[in-house]
Amino acid sequence: MTDITLIPTNTRLEENGAGQAFDISSSVTRTFLCTLTIDEQIEQESLDVSIWGSADGENWGTKPLLKMPQSFYRSETRLVLDISLKPEVKFLRAKWELNRWGRVAPTPMFVAGCLLREIPPMSPETPTKQALAGP
């Protein structure tokens, strides 16, 4: 099973951004448990993290493959990303957007991390790389 660190643990986020692209061509199940961990934050702010896919590592399209729930506080959120039916996706990366409101410090700040862990397919009928290759 593969682990991919889309946002390294304890990364200080102070502005919108995107992480590096990761090649997932060698993934057998193409199904991942996505864990977003927020370790620190300040009041009156939000964090939106999304996972984007690309066929070539350059063009990321207009819609994410997965959007994590908007976060405001320290937490750990887990969602499943199943791209087994999207064989064109060869690369993944995270994007994040921060928002701040109120009268205190104008710069948002989160300390967060996002990890993908390859997991078994969600359904026995889900095609895997081995099944698609045939005998």
pLDDT digit string, tens, across residues 6-30: 999 999 999 999 999 999 999 999 9
Taken in order 112, 118, 123, 128, the sign of the CA dihedral is: positive
Distance between CA atoms of residues 57 and 85, nearest Å: 19
Angle at 63 (CA atoms; ends 65, 118), nearest 5 degrees: 15
Q: Which of 38, 39, 18, 20 is nearest to 96 (CA)?
A: 18
| Domains of the chain, each with CATH number or no CATH | 3-121 (2.60.120.660)
Q: pLDDT tens across 52-85, in order?
A: 999 999 999 999 999 999 999 999 999 999 999 9
User: pLDDT grade, residue 106 (50/70/90)?
Assistant: confident
User: pLDDT grade, residue 101 (50/70/90)?
Assistant: confident
Q: pLDDT tens across 25-48, in order?
A: 999 999 999 999 999 998 889 999
